């Protein structure tokens, strides 16, 4: 559905959320409950590698054919040094003045440089939440970024059916409603045996099988599997949540 914030805003969010994430990760090594089998060192290394990989993609407009672009970083033993190096690389790559051009992405329809400004902002904020959850003190997600996050993660759903092992499911219609300071924002997600589609809407679809509503941050976290429907900030009506969550999980992996 395209990006909704400016490049400047995305970079601003990357910088502020990275600072919060780094501070949270820098404490004693503990398990990351929202990322099974990871501890805080694993999360730091993951983010460093993600930043380095996507910086290469943005700089070269294509994915690397192998891991040669990472060879110069192979001797970095410290997860936090790698995280710092990766962060510097992605900030350099995401130059707001960078010319727009066709760029590789795994998305079904967005092959722009802007895609990566958006993707890296949301990658950073969700993993910032993961890091802060380890310490028991979570900073709120900016409302505009959270709305954009809901929009982005829902737009992963049309990827279903792109692989033989992930078939489309004739599930029906899901209505999503984000309550914001400026009013309600609605999406209609329709799953058929042929495709999944996501559109902005004027209200809850009258044939929605499942309706999910809540504040924008709660919806963003719910769709990314960081909170459950038992969280008081979310409301679900209808049926089929288990299947919907499985579809979401497949789409975001």
Q: Tokens 């790559």 belong to which residue?
A: 93
- Show which of 105, 139, 173 is a domain's final residue: 139
Residue 224: pLDDT above 80?
A: yes
Burial of 83 (0-12, 13-18, 19+ CB in 10 A): buried
Counting the structural domains of the chain, the total is 2
Residue 4 tokens, joined? 């909704």
**Quick one: 59 and 92 in the same domain?**
yes
Q: Determine, yes or no, domain membership for 41.
A: yes
Cα pseudo-dihedral 243, 245, 203, 221, rounded to 10: 170
| Cα–Cα distance for residue pair 5/142, rounded to 1 Å | 12
Query: Which residues form the domain of 248?
Result: 146-252
Confidence of residue 73 (pLDDT cuts 50, 70, 90): confident
Q: What is the pLDDT of residue 203?
A: 98
Task: State the CATH number of the domain containing residue 98.
Answer: 1.20.120
Residues 235 and 167 in one domain: yes
Whether residue 108 is predicted with pLDDT greater than 80 in this model: the reply is no
And the tokens for 62? 């294509």
Looking at the fold, whether 17 and 131 belong to one and the same domain comes out as: yes
Return the percentage of the chain with pLDDT > 90, whole number: 77
- Helix or strand (DSSP H, E) at 221: helix 216-223
Q: Is 67 helix (H, G, I), strand (E, B) or coil?
A: coil
17-72 pLDDT, tens digit each: 999 999 999 999 999 999 999 999 999 999 999 999 999 999 999 988 777 777 77
**Residue 204, domain CATH:** 3.30.1050.10
Copy the structure tokens of residue 11.
């970079």
Q: Find the helix or strand (DSSP H, E) in which 198 lies.
A: strand 196-201
């Amino acid at each position: 559905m395209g990006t909704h914030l400016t490049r400047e805003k995305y970079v601003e969010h990357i910088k502020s959320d990275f600072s919060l994430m780094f501070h949270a990760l820098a404490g004693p090594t503990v398990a990351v409950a929202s990322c099974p089998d990871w501890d805080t060192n694993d999360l730091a290394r993951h983010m460093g590698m993600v930043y380095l990989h996507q910086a290469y993609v943005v700089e070269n407009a294509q994915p690397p054919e192998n891991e040669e672009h990472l060879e110069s970083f192979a001797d970095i033993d410290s997860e936090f040094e790698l995280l710092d190096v990766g962060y510097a690389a992605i900030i350099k790559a995401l130059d707001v003045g960078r010319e727009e051009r066709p760029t590789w992405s795994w998305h079904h329809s967005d092959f722009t440089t802007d895609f990566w400004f958006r993707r890296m902002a949301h990658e950073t904020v969700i993993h910032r939440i993961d890091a802060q959850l380890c310490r028991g003190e979570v900073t709120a997600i900016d409302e505009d970024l959270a709305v954009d996050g809901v929009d982005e993660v829902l737009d992963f759903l049309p990827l279903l059916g792109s692989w033989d092992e992930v078939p489309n499911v004739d599930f029906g219609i899901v209505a999503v409603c984000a309550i914001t300071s400026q009013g309600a924002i609605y999406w209609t997600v329709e799953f058929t045996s042929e495709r999944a589609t996501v559109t902005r809407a004027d209200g809850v679809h009258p044939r929605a099988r499942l309706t999910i509503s809540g504040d924008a941050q709660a919806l963003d976290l719910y769709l990314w599997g960081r909170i459950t429907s038992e969280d008081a900030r979310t409301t679900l009506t209808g049926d089929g949540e288990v299947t919907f969550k499985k579809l979401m999980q497949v789409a975001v992996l």
